[in-house]
Amino acid sequence: MAVGFVAVTGTRSANKTLGTTATQKTPASAFDVTLNKQQLNAISAYYLDRYQKNSDQQYAFAVDNDAVLTGQTQLLGITVNYGLSLTPKVLDNGNVALKAKKLAVGSLSMPVSMVLSYVSQHYDLPKWIHLDPSQKTITLDLAHFSTNGISYRATKIDMSGDGQFNFTVRVPKTKS
């Protein structure tokens, strides 16, 4: 589910100075990162591996024709596989919305809203991931995924072919 780790790899295509914002009083350096599906999947796996290191709940996220969340859960004492097919979309604010299309738990088809509600109550998700069961949407709040002041903004998602995922990475200006 994690996309906010885009600065780990990619191509640098621009370097510019941004103006001030309400939350940041000094200009920052920004650069664009472009990833393909393979790179996004590698970063996602790396991030989730680190995030879930000591967790009982394990899940994976990958992009191919759709974005897909997979894992295992207990259902009536039996371990069952699940898969959630999602369509990603860049929002105007630079966050990413993942609209749920289809969900399967074991061989059962289940209501997405019910499962998202269950996940929001029982899974330890990063604070920047928001579930909206009524809209069947998972929002990756990249504006609040910040590492040492570095922030991220999605600018393009193209799922065709090898894929193209563009992000702007903003690095705060040092005080020196």
Side-chain-facing half-sphere of 101: CA atoms under 13 Å? 11
Side-chain-facing half-sphere of 89: CA atoms under 13 Å? 10
Per-residue pLDDT tens digits for 109-150: 788 998 888 888 877 788 889 999 999 999 999 988 877 888
Per-residue pLDDT tens digits for 78-99: 888 889 999 999 999 999 999 9
pLDDT band at 176 (very low <50, low <70, confident <90, very high): low
Q: Is 97 within the bounds of a domain? A: yes
Average pLDDT, the chain: 81
Per-residue pLDDT tens digits for 50-66: 877 887 777 889 999 99
Q: Is 5 within the bounds of a domain? A: no
pLDDT at 108: 77
Domain span at residue 156 reads 29-168
Q: Is 48 within the bounds of a domain? A: yes
Contact indicator for 155, 35 with CB cutoff of 8 Å: no
Q: Is 75 within the bounds of a domain? A: yes
Number of domains in the chain: 1
pLDDT at 3: 38
Q: Is 10 within the bounds of a domain? A: no
The dihedral over CA atoms of 159, 162, 163, 166, expressed in degrees to the nearest 10, equals: 180
Q: Is 18 within the bounds of a domain? A: no
Side-chain-facing half-sphere of 174: CA atoms under 13 Å? 1
Q: Is 176 within the bounds of a domain? A: no
Q: Is 62 within the bounds of a domain? A: yes
The dihedral over CA atoms of 133, 3, 151, 91, expressed in degrees to the nearest 10, equals: -50
Q: Which two tokens stand for residue 90?
A: 């860049």
pLDDT at 13: 37
